[in-house]
Structure 1
Amino acid sequence: MTKELDPITLQVVGGALHSIAEQMGNVLYRMSYSSIIRESQDLGAGLFDTEFNTLCESDSTPMHIGSLPGYLRGIEQTVKLEDWKPGDCVIHNHPYKGASHSPDIAIVMPVFVNDELVGFSANTAHHVDIGAATPGLIIDVPDVWAEGMLLDGVKLYNEGVRNEDLWKYIRDNTRVPGLVMGDLEAQIASAELGVRRFEELIAKYGKDTVIQATKQLMDYTERRMRAEIEKIPDGEYFAEGFLDDDGRNRDVTLPIKVCVRIKGDSVEIDLTGSSPQVPTAFNVPFDGSTMVAAFFVFRAMLLDTYTSTDDIPANEGSFRPISVIAPKGSIFNPIAPAAAEARFCQIQRMADLVIKALAPVIPEKATAGNAATLSFAAYSGVRPNGEYWVFLEVNEAAMGGRPMSDGPDTVEELMRNTRNNPLEDLGMHLPLICDRYEVRDDVPPGAGKFRGGSGVVKSQRYLTPGFMTHESDRHLDAPWGVFGGKEGAVGKMEIHNIHSGETRQEYSKFSGLRTEIGDVVSYFSPCGGGYGDPLERDPEKVLDDVLDGFINPDHARNDYGVVLTEVDDGYGWALDPAATEALRGEMRA
């Protein structure tokens, strides 16, 4: 048994591991062809040991890296540890064998030292089209087979030799082979880099030292997570909400119920009572997504990078104290072959409800209600030469107010962490024009001592006929306010045609919608809830919000008790301190 390493060696090896993961992520997004990876960075990369523990992870989308251990466990059902050979490369995306959902394809390569398997280099990325029933995304389908290609632990490379038949099969079963095959090449290059860097690290410090370092680093992260959980009073904490519909059965809401059980230094999330699984793809793979949401929310609340006084490695240790109960046959643990591609809105809301449940006992680490949804839009069409174009876009939303500051406006909140697509890139490559992209101004954010964030408005106009699928939610259940704060605003979706002048409202999610020339699709994301009593908000900040267009003078008066007067100074409004003090006194009484 290797003796415990000194702190300096531990830090050096830990830093090297994180650097490797970052390099892997950088190679993947810089080499990719599709904008969902190249610009949005919808990816994850890292190194893993032979027990499938996460040793390090790239600073990318939280959903991806936390799911990779599930992919590895799923692959192990097909490719046993003893079946791996140097130069192998496995491709995998099966949602009932660990994948987060089917479009997130993983590439995994083994790391050998002196003919001994010591670990894996792996990454996963969202592919723009895997041949599903509708281009890009899928919601209203009967089963998992309709989601497109299912790749169940198949060797894409066998001891360095590419399986050309499999490569051709993938290329022939996507609408956009140029993008998908280019992205796979980028994933392979990323995994190869991880293998090489892991081998170099072991060559420099020795296998025993590196493996011992990974164990100590995981144990350290686990201790830190358990220490933070232990600060929360033991007990059961509850919260609940609902989702709009399943994408087929309209006006039938789906309940989400969360019980957070704190037991000493461990936590259990119980989702019993949440909706049964649904007959569309609006279900959540348990290992690849439900579990990962639980890992994410506690890491974010308790071990936040920017509020911790020291570095806490991102590895398997933070997962160990956390368990999840989701009854078989529920929306968070569906039974095969139920489809499960459109799963992100559910886990966003699950994470938000965990925050809501714990807010009374850890108010300094909680937020008011976040947008906690997703606007994932698939725009597509057929070019005159018969080739498909497909564009995936993730739209921003907003966070709830926080203990010491307002909720951020127009951000990728909670588990998303993806970046937006440059409009110039869109205009150069696709028959779409962005007509509007700005902060939402038709409704105010949730009022509070610290207000909620304002959402985004994004309007895309079709220049040719096409198709659209949209995965979203929260058109009915507004983000909540906490500690006296007021609720935020729900989202909405509308389509206006510039030629006919007609405007219609759409449901939050729909599949394969036919679009016409001049159709402008506008998404209005939810706005966050407020944190704390609005009457305690600094009146000067309320004035700033009016001048910046987040709220109007009526909102200032009715929600915040702030009286403004019109002035001719180039700004239009000024604070009336005496009237504000008097009005707030009346409102408090």
Structure 2
Amino acid sequence: MSQQKVDPITLQVINGALKTIAEEMGHVLYRMSFSSIIRESQDMGAGLFDTRYQTICESESTPMHIGSIPAYLRGIEATLQGGAWHEGDVVVHNHPYHGSSHSPDLAIIIPIFHEGELVGFSGNTAHHIDIGAATPGLIIDVGDVYAEGMLMAGLKLYEKGVRNEALVQMFKYNSRASTQLIRDIEAQVASAHLGVKRFKELLQRYGKDFTFDAINQLIDYSETIMRQKIQEIPDGEYRAEGFLDDDGRHRDQRLPVVVTVKVQGDSVIVDLTGSAAQTLTAYNVPFEGSCKVAAFAAFRKILLDAYTTQSPVPSNEGSFRPISVLAPLGTIFNPIFPAAAEARFTQCNRMIDLIIKALAPVLPERIIAGSSASISFAAYSGIKPSGDYWVFLEVNEGAYGGRPRSDGPDAIDNLMANTRNNPIEDLGMHLPMICDRYELRDDVMPGAGKYRGGIGVVKAQRVLTNGFITHESERHYDVPWGIFGGCEGVVGKTEIYNVATPDDIVSMPSKFSGYASRAGDVMAYYSPCGGGYGNPLERSAEQVREDVLDDFCSLDQAYEVYGVVLDEQVQLDLAATDKRRAQLTAQNG
């Protein structure tokens, strides 16, 4: 069937309508949810998809969620209960070897029918606080995927409008936080139903054929722009290497991450050959639902950034098409079933960090220095006096590297993470926890440069009951890189101590599972600081003085690295500064 050309004005109207539908779906999901990881942190995503599982539109939320739903849909096609879609069906799905990003991210998918014909899907994913894994909330050190909790593949929560009460009862008796789990799933169902309703209204207004002509035109447009941006990169192979701290069990075994970006005309291949073999723990990455999505997110970030792009590019399937990903089977980025794969996020962030590093020589005005490129994902839990569990999931901030025209942002989720912080007031109101400290790091300085690296966060959380802590993070050893003369950033660290004996500090690895915590225990997380961009001697002396006044730079660093001479009253000596900078320039060759 030939596709008719939709006029530009109507195309933009339909594009705006699609974007609004996705945003409204997202708002309904997080506003109706009960657990703070969705309600406050917004660890979720929502959108519409066609029958070829192409992304039509997506909410502005964590990229990992939306980019993965096409993989969920392909997994559902292979596992769908009964093998056919009907009006009134609602599917729940989270199997990491059938397209899921990882098992705690449950997808809710509802088919969209128009005049009796299946025309697409409304769907969302959200991270749930507990699905019955071996440790509360999160899991790292387990031997296979079955230890990650309930696995659902193509199961119908509703079939032809009738709820599957047996499945709901399974949720009730297999989660430590079953009430929140069920209510959050209900919020997902409401969000997806809204997407169905709004898309049907669009189809009724413009007709099915015209609407999908516009959708396909928007997808083709996004693909065209992405290909144009890729074509601006010189053909070639660009390589960068780094490493991960450990797999959560074997503490002295670093895990290599090797990224080779192969640019060929208007397409690109991300080749992960040379990266670590799959681990014996859950520190693996589902290939379809997470690894590929990270590569998509990287190039959208680098090439289609809204601030640097002249006109907005619709967020849809078109931006994925020019990008291919290779990861040998049996490696950390493409594990073989039944390897566990729950703790999969930090590897993806490091992959993006290395894609940026690899492309730095040919995209100096588009890339940044090394970021924290991790995620601090912590699960705190304990037993209430009633005998029930309380479980809390928290995502802590990191920092970006210095940028071509400005400093790296401080204390912010970075690269492919986009979750929000959980208000400490909410924490104190609902959970037996107290936040003792939440501020920028002051124990180290960020990477110096013409534009300095971002400053990481320090978050100290105290638990008031006995329980368990599981923590997934990275970069206690591999320092965020500086670029174009900029200095390296600083690695992160994690400590645990009890308020009764605050000097008895236990240095923790970057990731650990099921630490048995006592009432009064505090976990203090210090996120990595970003690397610097450009020669520190090119940073204005007055800006360095401001940094010292803000405690973003020490007097010693100002003198030794930036070549800025300040007296004890932090007054600038311009003549001495010029002399010192000339001296450092001569020393550095």
Letter in 1 for 2:521: D
Cα drift, residue 463 of structure 1:
1.2
Cα drift, residue 178 of structure 1:
1.4
Question: Equivalent residue for 1:418?
Answer: 419
CA distance in 2, matches of 1:574, 1:204: 67
Residues 121-176 of structure 1 deviation map (CA, whole Å, 9 limit, x = unaligned):
00000000000000000000000000000000111100100011011111211001
The reply to whether residue 579 of structure 1 matches residue 576 of structure 2 is yes
TM-score in terms of structure 1 length:
0.98
Question: Equivalent residue for 1:542?
Answer: 544
Question: Equivalent residue for 1:84?
Answer: 85
Cα drift, residue 2 of structure 1:
3.7
Question: Equivalent residue for 2:252?
Answer: 251
Question: Equivalent residue for 1:221?
Answer: 222
Letter in 1 for 2:582: G
Question: Equivalent residue for 1:29?
Answer: 30
Cα drift, residue 219 of structure 1:
0.2
Residues 452-492 of structure 1 deviation map (CA, whole Å, 9 limit, x = unaligned):
00000000011111110000110001100000000000000
CA distance in 2, matches of 1:81, 1:350: 38
- Secondary structure of 1:26 counterpart: helix
The reply to whether residue 72 of structure 1 matches residue 73 of structure 2 is yes
Question: Equivalent residue for 1:554?
Answer: 556
Cα drift, residue 309 of structure 1:
1.4
Letter in 2 for 1:194: G
CA distance in 2, matches of 1:503, 1:582: 44
Unaligned runs of 5+ in 2: none
CA distance in 1, matches of 2:172, 2:197: 28
The reply to whether residue 588 of structure 1 matches residue 589 of structure 2 is no
Residues 241-280 of structure 1 deviation map (CA, whole Å, 9 limit, x = unaligned):
0000000001110000000000000000000000000000
Summarize the alignment of residues 2-41 of structure 1 with structure 2, pairs less than 5 Å apart.
2-41=3-42
CA distance in 1, matches of 2:142, 2:475: 21
1:522 corresponds, among 524, 537, 542, to 524
Cα drift, residue 95 of structure 1:
0.3
Contact 2:81 2:155 in 1 (8 A): no
The reply to whether residue 137 of structure 1 matches residue 138 of structure 2 is yes
CA distance in 2, matches of 1:168, 1:385: 21
Structure 1 runs of 4+ aligned residues shifted over 2 Å read 79-82
CA distance in 1, matches of 2:546, 2:454: 14
The reply to whether residue 388 of structure 1 matches residue 395 of structure 2 is no
Cα drift, residue 82 of structure 1:
7.2
Cα drift, residue 380 of structure 1:
0.2
Q: Would the alpha carbon gap of residues 237 and 81 (structure 1) be closer, same or farther in structure 2, given more than 3 Å must change? A: farther
Letter in 1 for 2:473: S
Letter in 2 for 1:532: G
Cα drift, residue 4 of structure 1:
1.0
Question: Equivalent residue for 1:185?
Answer: 186
Question: Equivalent residue for 1:235?
Answer: 236
Cα drift, residue 46 of structure 1:
0.2
- Secondary structure of 1:565 counterpart: coil
TM-score in terms of structure 2 length:
0.98
- Secondary structure of 1:364 counterpart: coil
Q: Would the alpha carbon gap of residues 302 and 80 (structure 1) be closer, same or farther in structure 2, given more than 3 Å must change? A: farther
Question: Equivalent residue for 1:570?
Answer: none
Identity %: 65
Letter in 2 for 1:533: N
Cα drift, residue 437 of structure 1:
0.1
Summarize the alignment of residues 70-219 of structure 1 with structure 2, pairs less than 5 Å apart.
70-79=71-80, 83-219=84-220
CA distance in 2, matches of 1:177, 1:505: 33
Residues 546-577 of structure 1 deviation map (CA, whole Å, 9 limit, x = unaligned):
1001121001011111110122xxxxx11111
The reply to whether residue 512 of structure 1 matches residue 523 of structure 2 is no
Letter in 2 for 1:510: F
CA distance in 1, matches of 2:207, 2:83: 23
- Secondary structure of 2:571 counterpart: strand
CA distance in 2, matches of 1:112, 1:342: 36
Cα drift, residue 80 of structure 1:
8.7
Residues 502-560 of structure 1 deviation map (CA, whole Å, 9 limit, x = unaligned):
11100010000011121111000000000000111111111111100112100101111
- Secondary structure of 2:57 counterpart: strand
Cα drift, residue 79 of structure 1:
2.5
Letter in 2 for 1:346: Q
Letter in 2 for 1:562: V
CA distance in 1, matches of 2:552, 2:497: 24
- Secondary structure of 2:451 counterpart: coil
The reply to whether residue 475 of structure 1 matches residue 476 of structure 2 is yes
Summarize the alignment of residues 307-456 of structure 1 with structure 2, pairs less than 5 Å apart.
307-456=308-457
Cα drift, residue 500 of structure 1:
2.6
- Secondary structure of 2:79 counterpart: coil
Question: Equivalent residue for 2:302?
Answer: 301
- Secondary structure of 2:576 counterpart: helix
- Secondary structure of 2:158 counterpart: strand
Contact 2:81 2:156 in 1 (8 A): no
Letter in 2 for 1:8: I
